[in-house]
Amino acid sequence: MTSQARSQRIAFVLLIILVLGLAGLWMLGQSDRTSKPMPPNGDTLGPAYDESWEHYRARADASFVTAQDEAPNQNAWSMVVFQPALLAQDVSDITAPLNRVSAVISGAEAAREIPEPTDGHSRADVFLSNGLGNEDHPISAVIVWDTPTALAALKSDARVASVEILLPDASWGRFGIRPPLWTNQSAEVSSSAGAEVNPEGR
């Protein structure tokens, strides 16, 4: 075999190795992309770890003002926090004007997705059928879908401690949800009848 032929064969073998290596890397990348869930895009509702109630409420209020200024009539995902935590009927009454309640938080539990009620049923029925909004699992927050204009009415309700609104381009399943751990989980005074709500309470 001549020197030129040997060089050509070596170059051909190296080319094959390079192509196979690149193909392998591409397949690994594709496998990782399809086998793992897509991570959140950075948007998050709820307080950061160790964030104080005062700081979170100020941040939530700022998000509300921004949403009202920039897109008052555009639907967006929001977290409505109750302090103290409320029973099912109270939350049902408060959220009745809203388009959708998609998830409910009780205490330190992860947000639980819920359906909208069918004809003849209320949101209170849905909460209770999912074990939420009773004495043992009062509702501390809900994730809702509606406009800042619609949510403005909730802020005047003494039972609502804060409303945090994401930008309208946030998509369901693509943002994080953190429970407001400092909410009072006692439902003893959370009934709308004679309720005394103290949002500053821990």
Q: Are residues 74 and 172 in the same domain?
A: yes
Q: Are residues 19 and 112 in the same domain?
A: no
Task: Residue count of the chain, please give it.
Answer: 202
Q: Are residues 61 and 114 in the same domain?
A: yes
199 falls within a domain:
no
148 falls within a domain:
yes
| pLDDT tens column, 98-117 | 999 999 999 989 999 999 99
Q: Are residues 84 and 142 in the same domain?
A: yes
pTM of the model: 0.71
Residue matched to tokens 């049902």: 92
Tell me the residue ranges of DSSP E strands in 58-189: 76-86, 100-105, 112-113, 139-146, 160-165, 176-177
Q: Are residues 12 and 91 in the same domain?
A: no
SS3 label, residue 37: coil
Q: When comparing pLDDT for 18 and 38, which is higher? A: 18
Q: Which positions ≥6 away from 119 have C-beta within 8 Å? A: none
Which of 97, 100, 81 is CA-nearest to residue 163?
81
162 falls within a domain:
yes
Radius of gyration (C-alpha) of the chain in whole angstroms: 25
Q: Are residues 99 and 152 in the same domain?
A: yes
| pLDDT tens column, 5-31 | 666 666 666 667 766 666 666 565 554
Return d(Cα 60, Cα 47) in angstroms, integer.
9
Domain that holds residue 165: 44-177
Q: Are residues 22 and 101 in the same domain?
A: no
189 falls within a domain:
no
Q: Are residues 62 and 16 in the same domain?
A: no
112 falls within a domain:
yes
Tell me the residue ranges of DSSP E strands in the chain: 44-45, 76-86, 100-105, 112-113, 139-146, 160-165, 176-177
Q: Are residues 21 and 48 in the same domain?
A: no
Q: Are residues 26 and 53 in the same domain?
A: no
Residue 181 — very low, low, confident or very high, per pLDDT cuts 50/70/90? confident
Q: Domain tally for the chain?
A: 2
> Which neighbouring-strand residues pair with 81?
141, 162
201 falls within a domain:
no
202 falls within a domain:
no
54 falls within a domain:
yes
Q: Are residues 68 and 105 in the same domain?
A: yes
Task: Assign residue 46 a region (left: φ > 0; alpha: ψ between -120 and 50; beta: otherwise).
Answer: left
Q: Are residues 66 and 102 in the same domain?
A: yes
pLDDT above 90 covers a percentage of the chain that reads 63
